[in-house]
Structure 1
Amino acid sequence: MKRLIHRVALKAEHLFDRVFGRTGKGRVIDPYIGYATPDGLVVRGRVLSKIARNKPAKGQRLLTNMRQMLSLFLTDEVKAVEVRSGDVTTKSDEEGYFTLHLPRPATAGWHDIEVIIEGFEDIAICPALVPRGDARFLVISDIDDTMIQTGAYVLWKNLWTSLTGNALTRHVFPDAVALMERLSQDGRNPVFYVSSSPWNFHYFLQHIFHHGGLVRGPMFLRDLGLSENQFITGTHGDHKGGSIDTILAANPDLPVILMGDTGQHDAQVYLDAITRHRDRIHAVVLREPGPGPDPEVKAVMDRIATTGVPLLHAPDFKGMAPETGLT
């Protein structure tokens, strides 16, 4: 049945592309935030035929917000395009994504990496983070209902918030801003964000983070596109668990604080991460949005507590920084 749905959805997407002319000849890079590994620098982005950057304004109409949000999904991805940074080249995949593996810079901090598309003069800047040598730990955090109020634990609330708001109306939790600033220690400790939101939201989320004052960090979002070999992606847990594994492998010497909420499946994802990386998980921090954890999530939280990994949970993050034991 899944194969049948996959084929039907793929044909529908191809038909949509032909009808609406999503075959633009332009080439432009949508840059994502990259990160360092022990041996190199991972630079990421997506090749599109064009990019429409919305400019939200306070008090703009509901229909304007909805139109701008829907436009984030109407992208024209360009495959098999050669992308280069310095002497390193790669090609965009079927959904337009590319990854460049570059030498690791000698200095820590943020690096602006110039990336070009062969045959086009425009230069894209893909930022990438190299952790400091004195970092004591790293933070991996969920976004929806952990950093930003979304209502993801109730489908209709999530959809309404996602489609009717803009980057200026989305509510960033002040206690999340304060906790992340305390944990990052002015950039000493790297922060990563893992979310099931689609990569189409990358620029949108950066705008929200900047406007709300959240600590900047590489994001690991989800590919919701269709391809010949893929029907959407794996589960919420597969994506988040795989991203956690990737981040820990890129920072093999640092313990990690995992942050999330009790509204979805973060507790189970983090319990599984503890099973795989028991010696790396320093603490789990969970916000309890809405009605709080249901019996199933409570049971998972009890299992986390039995592992010996400190579990901090409350309706907000106020006062939690000292309790992590690393600030």
Structure 2
Amino acid sequence: MPRRSIATLLKGLKKLLHVAARPAKSERVHGGRLIHTYRGYGTHREVFMMGRVFRQPGFNLNLPEGSWRRDLADIVRRTIRWGIKHIDVQIQLGGETVTVTTDRDGYFNAHIRLETPLPGDRIWHEAHLRILSPSKDQKSTCANDGAGGDAVADIYIPPPDIDFAVISDIDDTVMYTGVANKLKMMYHLFIARAEQRTAFPGVAALYRGFHVGDGDQHCQRPLLYVSRAPWSIYEMLEAFFRLNHIPVGPILFLREWGLTLQHPLPRKAEDHKRELIETMLELYDPLPFVLIGDSGQHDPEVYADIVRDHPGRIRTVYIRDVSNDPGREQAIAALSAQIDKEQNSQCALVLASDSLTMAEHAHQHGYISSDALERVREAQ
């Protein structure tokens, strides 16, 4: 292998180590019990959020910050950390305080009903979390493993004057398939020019256009992303969105695989997606939605069912054509004609081979600005 290629590979591997180690570095302490939070979401009536409590080894190694040895040690600590079951976590948001208990894998889900609405002058709010007690099933063994673990979670509540929200698939819709293969994904992210090799051209500009609409930075539409990948790669997906300048907007909905000997396979991805969309439609009723997916899986059929079950709630369905199968294209075209007939042309299913086709339709219907359309065109 040429020296230049070796040097590029080593540089990429060091960058990979540093970024992969970042989640462990960001924790308040290096060892003991820690809370990892995911972005929450909701309305001024109720809020939902999720997180995990885990134990992480400290190692007590005196390695220089920024060195590849330190990064490697941080990755090892993060890799071998494990969830703590049956532990109480207190969550404070505004004037409300609730207590939740972790499940057998250390995860917790919280549903907070708000007696007093949160401040309406911003869309992001902070929830403060704290571990209340030692695990009921495990004895504390770490020196800094007391009950003082705390964290802050970002909570997104959309402004009242938005015109619609967007739910988008990730795999083969925003990024090329490979999200379930961590090594392949990390290679593309940090060595093979992530901006060009992992995201479909024009996606970042199109989604930024959806997010801000006519450019009003204070009226940001919700962008909700769903993936069939497990929660364990949440941080990797966040890195992907940051590197490709795609608005995270704000939620990633992954799957809690929960594999057991009795149930060795995760539930079907289409069930996960359908349940998510149903939940969002109920939570943000009567807000309309735009749905984005791909032709490779069951997105067109799932979305068509949603359109039929919720007439008037879905404005447009965009399907990225990735199948290269004339038969599949004909089947989706038939679905599109059926939706058009059933909904009296109030909802369209658009099959698009690229982001520009979606952007042109979105601009015609006032979803994105002229500037956003030009940015998508320049990115093709």
Task: Describe the SS at the equivalent of 1:233.
Answer: coil
Q: Which has the higher contact order (CA 8 A, sep 6+)?
A: 1
Q: Could you say which residue in structure 1 is the equivalent of 2:89?
A: 83
Provide the rounded CA distance (Å) in 1 between the counterparts of 2:273 and 2:190: 24
Name the % identity.
Answer: 29
Task: Describe the SS at the equivalent of 1:128.
Answer: strand
CA, structure 1 residues 166+116, in 2 after alignment: closer, same or farther (shift >3 Å)? Answer: farther
Provide the rounded CA distance (Å) in 2 between the counterparts of 1:168 and 1:277: 44
Asked if structure 2 preserves the Cα contact closer than 8 Å seen for 1:37 and 1:251, the reply is yes
158, 183, 199: which one aligns with 1:172:
199
Specify the code of the residue in structure 1 equivalent to 2:150: I
Q: Could you say which residue in structure 2 is the equivalent of 1:98?
A: 108
Specify the code of the residue in structure 2 equivalent to 1:118: L
User: TM-score, normalization: structure 1?
Assistant: 0.77
Asked if structure 2 preserves the Cα contact closer than 8 Å seen for 1:183 and 1:321, the reply is no
Provide the rounded CA distance (Å) in 1 between the counterparts of 2:165 and 2:156: 13
1:236 paired with 2:269, answer yes
Provide the rounded CA distance (Å) in 2 between the counterparts of 1:72 and 1:312: 42
Deviation (angstroms), 1:176? 1.0
Q: Could you say which residue in structure 1 is the equivalent of 2:227?
A: 195
Asked if structure 2 preserves the Cα contact closer than 8 Å seen for 1:223 and 1:232, the reply is no
CA, structure 1 residues 73+50, in 2 after alignment: closer, same or farther (shift >3 Å)? Answer: closer
Specify the code of the residue in structure 2 equivalent to 1:78: I
Provide the rounded CA distance (Å) in 2 between the counterparts of 1:148 and 1:163: 13
Deviation (angstroms), 1:175? 0.9
CA, structure 1 residues 30+273, in 2 after alignment: closer, same or farther (shift >3 Å)? Answer: same
RMSD between superposed Cα atoms in Å = 3.1
Please give the residue correspondences for 1:1-327 in structure 2 after superposition, counting only pairs within 5 Å. Answer: 26-37=32-43, 39-50=45-56, 76-86=82-92, 87-102=97-112, 103=114, 104-107=117-120, 108-119=122-133, 120-150=147-177, 161-162=184-185, 164-166=187-189, 169=192, 170=194, 171-185=198-212, 186=217, 187-216=219-248, 217-227=250-260, 231-289=264-322, 291-293=323-325, 295-296=327-328, 298-308=330-340, 309-324=347-362, 325-327=365-367
Specify the code of the residue in structure 1 equivalent to 2:98: V
Provide the rounded CA distance (Å) in 2 between the counterparts of 1:265 and 1:205: 22
Provide the rounded CA distance (Å) in 2 between the counterparts of 1:294 and 1:29: 49
Asked if structure 2 preserves the Cα contact closer than 8 Å seen for 1:267 and 1:297, the reply is no
State the Cα deviation string for residues 219-242 of structure 1 (Å, max 9, x = none): 111112225885543211101111
Specify the code of the residue in structure 1 equivalent to 2:166: V
Provide the rounded CA distance (Å) in 2 between the counterparts of 1:319 and 1:304: 16
Specify the code of the residue in structure 2 equivalent to 1:278: P
Q: Name which one, 1 or 2, has greater alpha-carbon Rg.
A: 2
Provide the rounded CA distance (Å) in 2 between the counterparts of 1:134 and 1:179: 21
Provide the rounded CA distance (Å) in 2 between the counterparts of 1:249 and 1:176: 28
Provide the rounded CA distance (Å) in 2 between the counterparts of 1:252 and 1:298: 33
Asked if structure 2 preserves the Cα contact closer than 8 Å seen for 1:30 and 1:51, the reply is no
Query: Structure 2 unaligned runs (5+)?
Result: 1-30, 59-67, 134-146, 341-346, 368-380
Q: Which runs of 4+ in 1 moved over 6 A?
A: 70-73
Tell me the number of residue pairs that the alignment of Structure 1 and Structure 2 aligns: 286
Provide the rounded CA distance (Å) in 1 between the counterparts of 2:182 and 2:325: 21
Query: Structure 1 unaligned runs (5+)?
Result: 1-24, 53-59
Asked if structure 2 preserves the Cα contact closer than 8 Å seen for 1:148 and 1:173, the reply is yes
